[in-house]
């Protein structure tokens, strides 16, 4: 019988889907990570980070987990915490969607919201607040997805082998948005070990530090869950062969296009990644291009899929 013992056993083995309507040649393929039980690729690292903490004695039974999150890691942690009996305090920036906050609360997490437009070292930032709460709450543990080696390692051990197996080793180009850098680092490293000729492409929102030419080019942006204003320890830039920078307008236009043309309700980071991947697929028509779609559009119904919100941001193409 194919019956999982619990929900975390269902994490992984997400499908690959050709995006033929978007790109008729058929060499562009999406890995639908939003079909994980918690709704995103972050389920993989949430389980890995908690299991590592348990092995090392950093997290005791009934303990508290504190994590700064754009939402998806928090949901993954909340799902695992509910199963294992831990308390979760998720610290989020105020640009994250209300749907994400509500989802975390539905899992039983406590949500602390902080301002977006402050530097990481500012005591009001969600990084700093998470640090403070970890110090103040007795027995609290912060997984810290930005420095935890279990983050890229989980992707190396699971997502990378899945893609290699699913493509029969024929993948030529791997594309992923960069947030903590765990996915592109772990998967990219695995694929390059199997075939050094695999090209790894990082897609980054305009305003993020990864593709900024100077400090003045680093600014806030609306696409959630990708880009940063600092360099995380979990990101190895040596793995990346090239970058594609995508604006909020381009990312959200692609996000809305995907649901109309491919029936895929994806989040803004997925739209961003596919916008970058489409450029690469057109440039390299003979290569199989695999792009990671991190989460679902259900988290963004009040934003990207809301015409009024898009219009307020000056991002709605009235002719589309």
Residue 42 appears among annotated catalytic residues:
yes
CA–CA distances in Å: residue 217 to residues 134, 208, 220, 229:
32, 8, 10, 10
Beta bridge partners of 199: 173
- Per-residue tokens: 84: 């294992």
106 SS3 class: helix
Return d(Cα 3, Cα 130) in angstroms, integer.
Answer: 37
Beta bridge partners of 244: 203
Active-site position among 31, 42, 100, 303: 42
CA–CA distances in Å: residue 13 to residues 1, 82, 168, 170, 194:
18, 22, 15, 18, 19
- Per-residue tokens: 209: 């530090």
Could you say which DSSP state residue 97 is in?
Answer: -
Alpha helices, DSSP H only, in the chain? 42-55, 72-84, 98-106, 126-136, 150-154, 160-166, 182-194, 248-261, 268-283, 307-312
- Sequence-ordered list of residues with C-beta below 8 angstroms from that of 219, at least 6 positions apart, any chain: 207
Catalytic residues: 42
């Amino acid at each position: 019988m194919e019956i999982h013992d619990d929900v975390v056993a269902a994490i992984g083995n997400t499908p690959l889907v050709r995006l033929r309507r978007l790109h008729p040649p058929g060499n562009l393929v999406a890995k639908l990570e939003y079909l994980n039980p918690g709704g995103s690729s972050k389920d993989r690292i949430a389980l890995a980070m908690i299991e590592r903490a348990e092995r090392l004695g950093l997290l005791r039974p009934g303990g508290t987990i504190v994590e700064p999150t754009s939402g998806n890691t928090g949901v993954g942690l909340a799902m695992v915490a509910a199963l294992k009996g831990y308390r979760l305090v998720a610290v989020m920036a105020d640009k994250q969607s209300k749907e994400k906050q509500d989802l975390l609360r539905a899992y039983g997490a406590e949500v602390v919201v902080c301002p977006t437009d402050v530097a990481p070292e500012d005591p009001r930032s969600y990084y700093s607040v998470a640090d403070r709460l970890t110090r103040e709450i007795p027995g609290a543990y912060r997984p810290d997805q930005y420095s935890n080696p279990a983050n890229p390692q989980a992707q190396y051990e699971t997502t990378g082998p899945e893609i290699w197996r699913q493509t029969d080793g024929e993948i030529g180009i791997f594309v992923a948005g960069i947030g903590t850098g765990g996915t592109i680092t772990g998967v990219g490293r695995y694929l390059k070990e199997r075939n050094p000729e695999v090209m790894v492409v990082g897609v980054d929102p305009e305003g993020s530090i990864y593709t900024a030419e100077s400090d003045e080019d680093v600014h806030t942006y609306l696409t959630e869950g990708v880009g940063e204003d600092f360099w995380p320890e979990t990101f190895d830039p040596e793995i990346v062969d090239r970058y594609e920078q995508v604006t909020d307008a381009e990312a959200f236009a692609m996000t809305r296009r995907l649901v109309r043309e491919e029936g895929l309700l994806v989040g803004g980071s997925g739209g961003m990644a596919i916008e970058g991947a489409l450029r690469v697929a057109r440039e390299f028509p003979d290569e199989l291009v695999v792009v990671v779609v991190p989460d679902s559009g259900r988290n963004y119904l009040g934003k990207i899929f809301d015409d009024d919100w898009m219009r307020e941001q000056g991002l709605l193409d009235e002719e589309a």
